[in-house]
Chain A
Amino acid sequence: MPGQERISSPAGQRVPGAPRTSFWAMQAEFYHRLKVQRSIVVMVLAVAAYLQYYLVNVPIADLSQTTKFSPATVKAAEQVVSFKNPETDAGSFELGFDQPAESQKQRMVVDAYFDQASLSDETVHKLASLGVHAPPDAAAISYLTAAVANGSCTTAVQVQTSGISGQARAAEFSQSELAPSDRHRLLEVRMKGLDSTVTLSSQGTFDAISSASSCKVTLRVGNWQQITGGFVPVVVKVPAGSGYRLRWEAADIQPSGWNTGGPALPLLAFGRGHRQSFRVEEIGVYAAQAAERNRAHDGLVAQSEHKDAPLTVDSLMIGTDHLQFGVSGKGRVLENGSAIVTVNFLETINKYPLIAALFGAANLGLLNWAKSRFFPQPRTTPAEVVPFPKEDGMKNGVEDEVGPEDKAARG
């Protein structure tokens, strides 16, 4: 505007002595520029389009909005579940199996297998005090429990973990094969960024006559083997990343008529309080063969909303051909890299005619506004009134038929 050019210098500084223009007037002048208005139109349309896309694809904010984790299943020999930053008590993650004392529960004997682990110094010294010299080096370890005839022997397993600073922490559970029968349950464990200390303790009844233990435990470390009557706890140190397996077998079911369709059993308890639940930041159910880097795009993932509000894993149960667990808490869920969404908001709006009409009108108004900014109508100027030329006939005798408008036009 020529007027403004006189007021401000090119650098925007006020020229001394120039007439002062109010701030609001300058703002109004700025926003009346067509380019500015078009930019605003583009921005408003973009925001509106994003908002409408979001309303159609609203990610779930609470895991109760999806059935994917009520419960989630992990297929044996196909999938693995990873619990990122698991916690049972403040700053720790513990799990274990102890023989249930309730009368309805099936008595189970558990064996443990370690890919690469070592006996703790305490266990080596305890065995040495009994005249047995166990190898202290890392090797494949197995701990097998059996009960002598008419006796009863149970093994308790307690897993304590300690984090390695600077490493991402996760507990992975899977089943590399189907259990051979309903009498068996299998679980494979791999702790990432967490060293495990596994305590195995077998005890049982005593023979009524001889008082001897009913347990027969076979401990193997590499090629070394020792048989014990139980009652000597064995502590195994498992480095992070090394796998181990637990194999349960029902102690007192007859060996005929087993089937393979047994229910999932809550064999594990978590934390010092032997609870059925623990907390995690993220859960992922992936294909067992999926490479680490591809997992995020190929599986079911639940992420907690905040680190200080983790998800709760509940009732991790072990079946013959699957693991299952429930998850609750606030967070989002991704399946094969795409967010699982909640109800379609716009679809819901369309169920209410009045709201739908208002929404449609708002959209139409927005589009009209955009159209007016990009394709403005030419301004209409008042039309010049041109009097009709008078014909000769009118001058003679038809003058009376001239309407009042013509009279007015003539003045």
Chain B
Amino acid sequence: MGSIGIDQVTFSPAEIRPARGERAHYMFHSISDFKNVEVNFVRVANDHGQIIAARIGKKLAGSIAKNEAKNGDWDGKSDGGGKDAEVYPPELQQWLKSPTGQHLVQVRAWYGAKDGDWATALSEEFVTVE
């Protein structure tokens, strides 16, 4: 999905097997200058009929200049849903810690300090971790 600040977000291949050392590759392009960029790995799944989304990992990408492109790899591993995933029901905790599922990339970029205004962009493609 394109954004006013970040566009051309790609995430591939469609399927990886981390156990075999396979990694997913992401790339994005900036339309503006940003001081801070964060790459979020988001898992989506069906929880009792409701599609939920949660961040299972993130990477800091530093600053980015206008028209610059950045890329990186993801090993497909989950951080288990953050610092305090215990607030979730046990099934959901299990899901967050599970090494498998469907994922996409969200790029979030701040113009200034991290508590200020930001722009986001999503990858169109899902990467399934087997």
Contact = CB atoms under 8 A, between A and B. Distances in A.
Given A99-B4, A130-B102, A231-B122, A211 B51 contact: no
Q: Most A CB atoms within 10 A — which of B51, B83, B119?
A: B51
Given A130-B102, A199-B1, A203-B106, A211 B55 contact: yes
Contact of A233 (B82, B111, B122): B122
Interface residues of B, number: 39
A70 interface: no
Interface stretch (A26-34, A74-82, A222-230, A303-311): A222-230
Q: How big is the A interface, by class?
A: 35 or more
Nearest to B1: A201
Contact of B51 (A154, A201, A232): A232
Contacts of B51: 127, 130, 132, 226-229, 232
25 contacts: A99-B4, A101-B111, A101-B118, A103-B116, A127-B51, A130-B44, A130-B46, A156-B2, A206-B40, A207-B82, A209-B87, A210-B54, A210-B81, A210-B84, A210-B88, A211-B82, A212-B52, A212-B88, A213-B54, A227-B50, A229-B52, A229-B53, A231-B104, A232-B44, A233-B124
A335 interface: no
B83 A228 contact: no
Interface string A126-138: 1101111000000
Interface in A212-251: 212-213, 215, 226-233
A117 B5 CA distance: 30
B24 interface: no
A127 B4 CA distance: 27
A144 to B, nearest CB: 15
Contacts of A208: 82
A209 B53 contact: no
A98 interface: yes
B96 interface: yes
B39 interface: no
Given A103-B111, A209-B87, A213-B54, A98 B40 contact: no
A201 B2 CA distance: 10
B3 interface: yes
A231 B53 contact: yes
Interface in B15-59: 32, 40, 42, 44-46, 49-56
Nearest to A230: B53
Q: Most B CB atoms within 10 A — which of A201, A208, A212?
A: A212
Q: Most A CB atoms within 10 A — which of B88, B122, B126?
A: B122
A212 to B, nearest CB: 5
A360 interface: no
Interface of B: 1-5, 32, 40, 42, 44-46, 49-56, 81-85, 87-88, 96, 102, 104, 106, 111, 116-120, 122, 124, 126
Given A99-B4, A129-B102, A156-B3, A210 B53 contact: no
Contacts of A233: 1, 122, 124
Given A98-B4, A226-B51, A231-B53, A154 B44 contact: no
Interface in A30-54: none
A127 B126 CA distance: 12
A100 B85 contact: no
Contacts of B88: 210, 212
Given A98-B2, A130-B102, A154-B120, 8 more contacts: A99-B120, A101-B117, A206-B82, A211-B54, A211-B81, A228-B53, A231-B122, A269-B4
Contacts of A232: 44, 51, 53
Contacts of A158: 1-2
Nearest to B124: A233
A213 B53 contact: yes
A102 interface: yes
A204 B40 CA distance: 11
B119 A99 contact: yes
